[in-house]
C-alpha cells in the first residue's frame, strides 16, 4: 500500500517562489519515488504516519529508497538545523537504538516515521541583517552568522509564509534587526508557533490551515521604550495583512517580548499581548491544551499526539498517576481524560506553566472525576515524596535525562518501602511540614478535587513510563534502573520527532521487579542442549 502526501512548498501570498508543488509517493516497504512537478492544487489533508517494526538494525544504503525520502532543501549545506538529507524516515541512530533494546530483550521495538516535511509547528529564529535586507533563520554551525531559511522544508508552510510577511513589514517600516556586536537594533528574535486547533474546519483541513502566533523579541527593557511605536506599527502591519480581515488569514496573534541581555538567551521575563487572540490552543492526546508563548511546547505536534496515544495503552483505567517534569501538564491531563485516572499529580519546576495548566483544566470534560493537581517543585529534592501514592510514574525529562536523586529513589524503592507510611498524605495533610521546597510546592499548587471521595494510599509505583528526547542520557538512566533489579524493561517505541536530524523520541515502559537478563537467557539455552 502506498502513502501519498504533499511537500511543504505550498504556495502562499508571501512566498516569492512560483506556485509549484512536489508530490511524493512512498511505499511502506521501499519508499519508491514517483515524483512529478504540477501546478499547486488546493491544500490536501496530511497523510497518516507509518509505523515500522524494526526487525534488523541494518539500514539501507543511499539508493532509490533513501533518495525518495531525501530532504531536498536548498538550505541544507549552510543551515545547522538538519544534519542529514537522506533516509529521513530512518535516521542512522536507529542502528544503535535497535541494538540496545535487542540486547535488553525487547525484540518488538517499533519506530513511527511520522510526517517527514512541514512537521515543525514551533520555531525560534534569530533576526539579523539590515532593514533593507533582513535575515531570519538559524546560526551557521559553530558561528553566530545567520543563515536565512525562507524555504525551510521542516517548517509548517505557514511559518515560512509568516516569515515572508514579517520581512515585508521590516523593510516597509524600516525596522532595524539586532546587531550583536554593537548591541543595537530593535528586533532580536521571533518565535513562530502554529495552532491547528480550528473546530470550524473539517479535521482533515486543519493542519495546512493552521494559524501562526508571532512573538517579537524587542531590544528594549519594556513596552515604553523610544522604539515602541515601531513595535506597534510592525504588529499592526502583520495583523492588517495576515489577520482575519486580510485576503489570506495567516496570523493568530502577535505578542511582544522585551529583553536587552547580552547573554545568549532568547526571551526576557516581560511579555505583552499586542493583537489577536490571547489564548493559544492545540488539541493533542484527546484534550485541548492551552500554551502561553513563554511555555514549552512540542515542535512536532502530530508526532507528539501519536506518542501520547501509544502511552495511553500502557496506563490502567482508574490508576493514580504522577507526571514528573510535567510542563503545563499535557501528559497527565490527557491520561486523566483517556484513562479516567483516580488521581493525577503534575510536578514542574517552571512557574510559567501554571497558567497554561489552569486554562487547560477549564476545558476538561465535566464528566472527569479525578483528583488533579499541579505543583511547582524541583523533583531533585526528596523525589520519593512524589513517588509514594502513585501506581504509575511518567517522566519526560530534558535532554540531560533524570536528576541523579530521582534515579537513586527509583533504584531503591525496596528500601524506601519502609518509609512509605511516614510519607503517607504528607503533602496534603501534614500541618507541621517544615521542608521549604514542600511548602513552596504547596503555595504554588493548583488543586482540583474529585467529586468522589478518594482513598489516600501509600502505594509505590509498579509502572514507570520514560519519555526521552536525549538518547545517550536515556541509555545511561536505563542501565542504572535495570542494574538495581528493581525494574525490568518491557516495551519500547521510537518516534521520528525531528526528521533530518540524529534525534528521536523514545517511549519506554518499565515494570517493577527484576527482569530476565541476557546471561539468564543464555544459561537456559545451554541447559536445553545438555538435555
- Does 369 show up as a binding residue in the annotation? no
Q: What is the DSSP string of 391-421?
A: SEEEE---TT-S-HHHHHHHHTHHHHGGGHH
- Does 325 show up as a binding residue in the annotation? yes
- Nearest residue to 478 (alpha-carbon basis) of 469, 466, 461: 466
**Who's near 315: CB < 8 A, 6+ residues apart?**
321, 335, 339, 341, 392, 463, 465
Q: What is the DSSP string of 46-84?
A: PPPP-EEE----PPPPSSHHHHHT----TTTTT-SS-S-
Q: Is 193 helix (H, G, I), strand (E, B) or coil?
A: strand
Pick the catalytic residue: 31, 114, 469, 478? Answer: 469
Q: Can you tell me the distance from the alpha carbon of 111 to that of 464, in angstroms, rounded to the nearest whole number?
A: 20
Q: Can you tell me the distance from the alpha carbon of 152 to that of 154, in angstroms, rounded to the nearest whole number?
A: 6
Q: Can you tell me the distance from the alpha carbon of 285 to that of 301, in angstroms, rounded to the nearest whole number?
A: 10
In eight-state DSSP terms, residue 342 is S
**Who's near 82: CB < 8 A, 6+ residues apart?**
71, 73, 76, 154, 500, 501
- Does 348 show up as a binding residue in the annotation? yes
Note if 152 is an active site residue.
no
Pull the grid cell for residue 157.
Answer: 508552510
Pull the grid cell for residue 73.
Answer: 532543501
- Residues 250, 158 contacting (CB under 8 angstroms): yes
Q: Can you tell me the distance from the alpha carbon of 68 to that of 522, in angstroms, rounded to the nearest whole number?
A: 41
- Does 396 show up as a binding residue in the annotation? yes
- Residues 374, 348 contacting (CB under 8 angstroms): yes
Q: In the beta sheet, which residues pair with residue 189? A: 126, 217
- Residues 160, 152 contacting (CB under 8 angstroms): yes
In eight-state DSSP terms, residue 184 is B
Active site (catalytic) residues? 469
User: Could you tell me which residues are annotated as the binding site for S-adenosyl-L-methionine?
Assistant: 298, 325, 348, 396
Amino acid at each position: 500500500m502506498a502513502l501519498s502526501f504533499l511537500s511543504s512548498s505550498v504556495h502562499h501570498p508571501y512566498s516569492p517562489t512560483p506556485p509549484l508543488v512536489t508530490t511524493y509517493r512512498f511505499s511502506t516497504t521501499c519508499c519508491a519515488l514517483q515524483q512529478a512537478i504540477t501546478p499547486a492544487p488546493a491544500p490536501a489533508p496530511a497523510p497518516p504516519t507509518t509505523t515500522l517494526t524494526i526487525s534488523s538494525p541494518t539500514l539501507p544504503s543511499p539508493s532509490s529508497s533513501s533518495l525518495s525520502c531525501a530532504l531536498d532543501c536548498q538550505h541544507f549545506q549552510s543551515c545547522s538545523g538538519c544534519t542529514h538529507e537522506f533516509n529521513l524516515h530512518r535516521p542512522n541512530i536507529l542502528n544503535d537504538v535497535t541494538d540496545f533494546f535487542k540486547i535488553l530483550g525487547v525484540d518488538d521495538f517499533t519506530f513511527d516515521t511520522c510526517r517527514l516535511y512541514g512537521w515543525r509547528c514551533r520555531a525560534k529564529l534569530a533576526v539579523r541583517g539590515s532593514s533593507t535586507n533582513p535575515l531570519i533563520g538559524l546560526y551557521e554551525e559553530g558561528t553566530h552568522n545567520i543563515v536565512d531559511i525562507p524555504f525551510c522544508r521542516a517548517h509548517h508552510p505557514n511559518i515560512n509564509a509568516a516569515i515572508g510577511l514579517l520581512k515585508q513589514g521590516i523593510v516597509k517600516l524600516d525596522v532595524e534587526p539586532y546587531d550583536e556586536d554593537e548591541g543595537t537594533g530593535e528586533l532580536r528574535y521571533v518565535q513562530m508557533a502554529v495552532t491547528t486547533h480550528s473546530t470550524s474546519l473539517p479535521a482533515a483541513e486543519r493542519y495546512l490551515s493552521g494559524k501562526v502566533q508571532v512573538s517579537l523579541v524587542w531590544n528594549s527593557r519594556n513596552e515604553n521604550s523610544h522604539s515602541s511605536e515601531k513595535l506597534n506599527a510592525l504588529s499592526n502591519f502583520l495583523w492588517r495583512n495576515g489577520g482575519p480581515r486580510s485576503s489570506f488569514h495567516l496570523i493568530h496573534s502577535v505578542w511582544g517580548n522585551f529583553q536587552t541581555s547580552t547573554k545568549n538567551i532568547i526571551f526576557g521575563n516581560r511579555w505583552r499581548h499586542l493583537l489577536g487572540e490571547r489564548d493559544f490552543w492545540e488539541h493533542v492526546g484527546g484534550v485541548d491544551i492551552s500554551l502561553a508563548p513563554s511555555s514549552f511546547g512540542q515542535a512536532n505536534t502530530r508526532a507528539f499526539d501519536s506518542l501520547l496515544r501509544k502511552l495511553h495503552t500502557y496506563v490502567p483505567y482508574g490508576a493514580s498517576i504522577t507526571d514528573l517534569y510535567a510542563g503545563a501538564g499535557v501528559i497527565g491531563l490527557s491520561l486523566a481524560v483517556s484513562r479516567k485516572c483516580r488521581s493525577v499529580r503534575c510536578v514542574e519546576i517552571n512557574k510559567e506553566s501554571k497558567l497554561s495548566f489552569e486554562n487547560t483544566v477549564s476545558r476538561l470534560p465535566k464528566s472527569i472525576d479525578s483528583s488533579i493537581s499541579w505543583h511547582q517543585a524541583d523533583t531533585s529534592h526528596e523525589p520519593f515524596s512524589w513517588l509514594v501514592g502513585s501506581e504509575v510514574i511518567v517522566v519526560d525529562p530534558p535532554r540531560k535525562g533524570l536528576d541523579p536523586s530521582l534515579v537513586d529513589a527509583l533504584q531503591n524503592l525496596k528500601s524506601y518501602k519502609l518509609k512509605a507510611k511516614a510519607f503517607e498524605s504528607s503533602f496534603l495533610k501534614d500541618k507541621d511540614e517544615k521542608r521549604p521546597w514542600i511548602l513552596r510546592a504547596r503555595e504554588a499548587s493548583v488543586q482540583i478535587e474529585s467529586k468522589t471521595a478518594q482513598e489516600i494510599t501509600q502505594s509505590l509505583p509498579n509502572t514507570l513510563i520514560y519519555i526521552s528526547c536525549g538518547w545517550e542520557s536515556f541509555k545511561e538512566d536505563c542501565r542504572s534502573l535495570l542494574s538495581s533489579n528493581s525494574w525490568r524493561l518491557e516495551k519500547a517505541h521510537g518516534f521520528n520527532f525531528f526528521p533530518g536530524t540524529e534525534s528521536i523520541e523514545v517511549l519506554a515502559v518499565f515494570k517493577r521487579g527484576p527482569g530476565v537478563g541476557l546471561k539468564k537467557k543464555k544459561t537456559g539455552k545451554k541447559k536445553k542442549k545438555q538435555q
